[in-house]
Structures are given as C-alpha cells and as structure tokens.
Amino acid sequence: MHDKKAGFTPAFSFSDAMRRLFLLLALFLSAGARAELPVVQLATGMHLIRAELADSMGTRMEGLMYRKSMPQGSGMVFVFDETALHCMWMKNTLIPLSVAFIDASGAIINIADMQPQTEASHCASRPARFALEMNKGWFAERGIKPGAKLRGLEKLAPR
C-alpha cells in the first residue's frame, strides 16, 4: 500500500487485521439491517401459524428473499391492496416454499409448490386477497387443501 518509489504516502492505511475487523463489522451490521416485520398469528383447523406480515409494496416485493431457513410453523402472509389474480415467484429465494392463495373470506383458493431461485410464476386460480408462504409441503403434510379456512386474516389490511 505504501509506494516509496513514487513518493506516495497514503493519508491512512489499514493493517491486514484492521481490514478484516472492518469487513466483519460491515457484514454484521448489514445482516441486522433487515427490519423485523410484524408477526400475526393465523390458524387453520388445529394448526397455528406464526406469520410475518408483508403488507406494503416493499415488504411484498422482498418477501422471503435471501433467507436460509424458516422455522416450522412459521411463514409469511402477503396482504394485497386489492383482490386480483396475484402471482408469486422465487427470484433470490433460497428455500423451497408452498404458497396458498386465499380469498377475502379466508378460504384457500389453490396451493402451489415453488422451487428456490426460479422465476416461474405461480398464480392464484381466481382473484385472491392474500397469499401465505410456508415451508414446502407444509399444507400437504397437514392435509390442508383448497377450501380450508384461515382464521386471523380478517383483521389484516395493507399499509
């Protein structure tokens, strides 16, 4: 870093150890940069769901991107601004997921399994007001199918 031949003296220089410490600090701070999302409790049948709330354009766009895991019984509920034929994709999403599209009354319309890091569209088969992403297979493992009702959605509205 110090070039004596050219007569250049840097204003400051980091030792190798300081550079590493600075990098670790930057990584630590960036890892905590994601704001904690509000959590709501949903239920279907006897199954409780701890769902992070994606109720703004920004939180819906980011979704579960870059997450390396998700605890069992946890998921993310997307609250859309309007009832429409919404679609989801898995760009930059590292974990396999299942998504349930849900109407305004809380009834599951359809469920789709999604592979990580793909841009294939997975869409509601009719207009949906909500979507719930869970670990892949969560709905099937519990026998939860289209027509099942989710409780707890009635108090959610987009920001």
In a domain, 62, yes or no: yes
Specify the number of domains making up the chain: 1
| Among candidate residues 152, 153, 142, 141, the one with its CA nearest the CA of residue 46 | 142
In a domain, 56, yes or no: yes
Alpha-carbon span 34 to 146, nearest angstrom: 33
Domain boundaries, position 135: 39-155
CATH number at residue 100: 2.60.120.1140
- Per-residue pLDDT tens, the chain, 159 aa: give them: 444 555 555 554 555 555 555 554 444 444 444 568 899 999 999 999 999 999 988 888 888 888 999 999 999 999 999 999 999 999 999 999 999 999 999 999 999 999 999 999 999 999 999 999 999 999 999 999 999 999 999 888 766
In a domain, 25, yes or no: no
In a domain, 34, yes or no: no
In a domain, 33, yes or no: no
In a domain, 68, yes or no: yes
Q: Where does 109-150 have alpha helices with state H?
A: 138-141
